[in-house]
Chain A
Amino acid sequence: MANITINGDTKAIDAPGDTSLLWAVRDLAGLTGTKYGCGVGLCGACTVHVDGRPERSCLLSLDDVAGKQVTTIEGLSEDGSHPVQVAWRDQNVPQCGFCQAGQIMQAAGFLEENPKPTDGEIKEAMEGNICRCGCYQRITAAVRQASTGS
Chain B
Amino acid sequence: MYHLAEKFARSAAVEDGGLAIHNVSRRGFLKTSSAAFALAAFSGTAAQAFTPYKTGGDDMPNGLKYDPNIFVSIGSDGTVTIVAHRSEMGQGSRTSLPMVLADEMGADWAKVKIVQAEGDEPKYGNQNTDGSRSMRHHIQSMRQMGASVRHMLQQAAAKKWGVDASAVNVGVHEVTSGSNKVGFGELAEDAMALPVPRFEELAFKDEKDFRYIGAGKISITDLHDITTGKAVYGADIMLPGMKVAVIARPPAVGENPGKVDDKAALAVAGVESVHTLAGSVMPAGFAPVGGVAVVAAHTAAAIKGRDALTIEWTKGPHSDYDSEAFTNEMRATAAQPGKVVRKEGDWEAARAGAAKTFEREYSQAHMVHATMEPLVAVADVKADGAEIWAPVQSPYQARQDVAKALGLDEKDVRVNVTLLGGGFGRKSKGDFVTEAALLSKEVGAPVKVQWTREDDIRHAFNHTTSVERIEAALDDKGKVTGMRYNSVAPSILSTFAPDSGYQFPIEAGMGHVDLPFEVPNLSIENGKAMAHTRIGWFRAVSNIPRAWAVQSFAAELADELGKDQKDMLLELIGSDRKLDPAKQGFPDKFWDYGEVYDEYPIDTMRLKNVINLAAEKAGWGKSMPKGEGLGIAAHRSFVTYVASVVHVKVDDDGTIRVPEVHMAVDCGFAANPERIRSQMEGAAVMGMTAALHSGITYKAGAVEQANFDTYEMVRASNFPEIVHTHIVEHPFSVHAAGVGEPGVPPIPPAIANALFNATGQRMRDMPIGDTV
Q: Point out residues on A near B: beta carbons under 8 Å.
A: 15-16, 19-20, 22-24, 26-28, 30-40, 42-43, 45, 72-74, 76-77, 79-80, 85, 88-89, 92, 94-101, 104, 122-124, 126-140
Closest to B92 in A: A95
Choose among A16, A33, A135, A137 the residue that contacts B229 (Cβ–Cβ < 8 A): A33
Choose among B228, B374, B683, B717 the residue that contacts A36 (Cβ–Cβ < 8 A): B374
- Determine the distance from Cα of A31 to Cα of B238 in the docked complex, in whole angstroms: 10
Choose among B235, B716, B720 the residue that contacts A35 (Cβ–Cβ < 8 A): B235
Is B91 in contact with A95, judged by CB distance below 8 angstroms?
yes
Could you say which of B269, B373, B714 has the most chain A C-beta atoms within 10 Å of its C-beta? B373
B681 CB contacts on chain A under 8 angstroms: 134-135, 137-138
Main SS at interface, chain B: loop
Chain A min CB distance to B644 (Å): 14
- Determine the distance from Cα of A67 to Cα of B300 in the docked complex, in whole angstroms: 22
Is B684 in contact with A134, judged by CB distance below 8 angstroms?
yes
B157 is an interface residue with CB less than 8 A from chain A:
no
Closest to B723 in A: A137
Is A127 in contact with B717, judged by CB distance below 8 angstroms?
yes
- Determine the distance from Cα of A133 to Cα of B421 in the docked complex, in whole angstroms: 9
B1 is an interface residue with CB less than 8 A from chain A:
yes
B371 CB contacts on chain A under 8 angstroms: 96, 98, 132
What are 6 pairs between A and B in contact, CB < 8 Å?
A32-B3, A35-B235, A39-B453, A74-B229, A85-B227, A98-B233
Stretch of B60-68, B218-226, B609-617 lying at the A interface: B218-226
Choose among A79, A89, A98 the residue that contacts B223 (Cβ–Cβ < 8 A): A89
Given contacts A23-B299, A39-B707, A94-B226, 8 further A-B contacts (CB under 8 A): A32-B229, A80-B228, A88-B227, A123-B716, A129-B716, A130-B713, A134-B683, A137-B681
Query: Interface size class for chain B?
Result: 35 or more
B267 is an interface residue with CB less than 8 A from chain A:
no
Choose among B300, B420, B714 the residue that contacts A15 (Cβ–Cβ < 8 A): B300
Is A94 in contact with B220, judged by CB distance below 8 angstroms?
yes
- Determine the distance from Cα of A26 to Cα of B244 in the docked complex, in whole angstroms: 12
Is A137 in contact with B298, judged by CB distance below 8 angstroms?
no
Is B300 in contact with A19, judged by CB distance below 8 angstroms?
yes
B678 is an interface residue with CB less than 8 A from chain A:
yes
Is A96 in contact with B419, judged by CB distance below 8 angstroms?
yes
B223 CB contacts on chain A under 8 angstroms: 89, 92, 94
A74 CB contacts on chain B under 8 angstroms: 228-230
Is A140 in contact with B452, judged by CB distance below 8 angstroms?
no
B424 CB contacts on chain A under 8 angstroms: 132
- Determine the distance from Cα of A36 to Cα of B236 in the docked complex, in whole angstroms: 10
Chain B min CB distance to A70 (Å): 14
- Determine the distance from Cα of A100 to Cα of B236 in the docked complex, in whole angstroms: 15
B322 is an interface residue with CB less than 8 A from chain A:
no
- Determine the distance from Cα of A20 to Cα of B722 in the docked complex, in whole angstroms: 38
Is A96 in contact with B224, judged by CB distance below 8 angstroms?
no
Chain A min CB distance to B751 (Å): 14
Closest to B688 in A: A134
Choose among B372, B450, B722 the residue that contacts A98 (Cβ–Cβ < 8 A): B372
Choose among B3, B227, B236, B722 the residue that contacts A137 (Cβ–Cβ < 8 A): B722
A35 CB contacts on chain B under 8 angstroms: 233, 235, 372-373, 421
B89 is an interface residue with CB less than 8 A from chain A:
yes
User: What is the 8 Å Cβ interface bit string for chain B, positions 189-228, against chain A (1 contact, 0 not)?
Assistant: 0000000000000000000000000000001101110111
B678 CB contacts on chain A under 8 angstroms: 92, 95, 135, 138
Choose among B89, B450, B674 the residue that contacts A96 (Cβ–Cβ < 8 A): B89
The B232-264 residues at the A interface (CB cut-off 8 A) are: 232-233, 235-236, 238, 244
B423 CB contacts on chain A under 8 angstroms: 96
- Determine the distance from Cα of A43 to Cα of B714 in the docked complex, in whole angstroms: 11
Is B238 in contact with A132, judged by CB distance below 8 angstroms?
no
Is B708 in contact with A136, judged by CB distance below 8 angstroms?
no
Is A135 in contact with B682, judged by CB distance below 8 angstroms?
yes
Choose among A38, A39, A43 the residue that contacts B303 (Cβ–Cβ < 8 A): A39
B527 is an interface residue with CB less than 8 A from chain A:
no
Could you say which of B230, B232, B244, B719 has the most chain A C-beta atoms within 10 Å of its C-beta? B719
User: What is the 8 Å Cβ interface bit string for chain B, positions 374-386, against chain A (1 contact, 0 not)?
Assistant: 1000000000000
Q: Point out residues on B near A: beta carbons under 8 Å.
A: 1, 3, 88-92, 219-220, 222-224, 226-233, 235-236, 238, 244, 269-270, 298-301, 303, 370-374, 419-424, 450, 452-453, 674, 678-679, 681-686, 689, 707-709, 713-717, 719-723
- Determine the distance from Cα of A15 to Cα of B406 in the docked complex, in whole angstroms: 34
Is A96 in contact with B219, judged by CB distance below 8 angstroms?
no
Closest to A80 in B: B228
Closest to A28 in B: B298
Chain A min CB distance to B103 (Å): 19
- Determine the distance from Cα of A138 to Cα of B717 in the docked complex, in whole angstroms: 14
Chain A min CB distance to B414 (Å): 22
- Determine the distance from Cα of A120 to Cα of B715 in the docked complex, in whole angstroms: 13
A39 CB contacts on chain B under 8 angstroms: 303, 452-453, 707
A27 CB contacts on chain B under 8 angstroms: 238, 244, 298-300
- Determine the distance from Cα of A32 to Cα of B678 in the docked complex, in whole angstroms: 26
- Determine the distance from Cα of A79 to Cα of B224 in the docked complex, in whole angstroms: 9
Is A131 in contact with B238, judged by CB distance below 8 angstroms?
no
A36 CB contacts on chain B under 8 angstroms: 235, 299, 374, 450
B715 CB contacts on chain A under 8 angstroms: 126-130, 136
Closest to B716 in A: A126
- Determine the distance from Cα of A106 to Cα of B678 in the docked complex, in whole angstroms: 22
Chain B min CB distance to A46 (Å): 11
A20 CB contacts on chain B under 8 angstroms: 300
- Determine the distance from Cα of A35 to Cα of B372 in the docked complex, in whole angstroms: 9
Chain A min CB distance to B68 (Å): 29
Could you say which of B231, B233, B450 has the most chain A C-beta atoms within 10 Å of its C-beta? B231
Choose among B1, B419, B453 the residue that contacts A37 (Cβ–Cβ < 8 A): B453
Given A27-B244, A27-B298, is A32 in contact with B419 using a C-beta cutoff of 8 Å? no
Choose among A89, A97, A137 the residue that contacts B721 (Cβ–Cβ < 8 A): A137
Is A140 in contact with B227, judged by CB distance below 8 angstroms?
no
A137 CB contacts on chain B under 8 angstroms: 681, 719-723
- Determine the distance from Cα of A121 to Cα of B149 in the docked complex, in whole angstroms: 52
Given A85-B228, A89-B224, is A130 in contact with B372 using a C-beta cutoff of 8 Å? yes
Chain A min CB distance to B721 (Å): 7
A126 CB contacts on chain B under 8 angstroms: 715-717
Chain A min CB distance to B253 (Å): 24
Chain A min CB distance to B525 (Å): 34
Is B3 in contact with A33, judged by CB distance below 8 angstroms?
no
A19 CB contacts on chain B under 8 angstroms: 300
Could you say which of B269, B303, B678, B713 has the most chain A C-beta atoms within 10 Å of its C-beta? B678
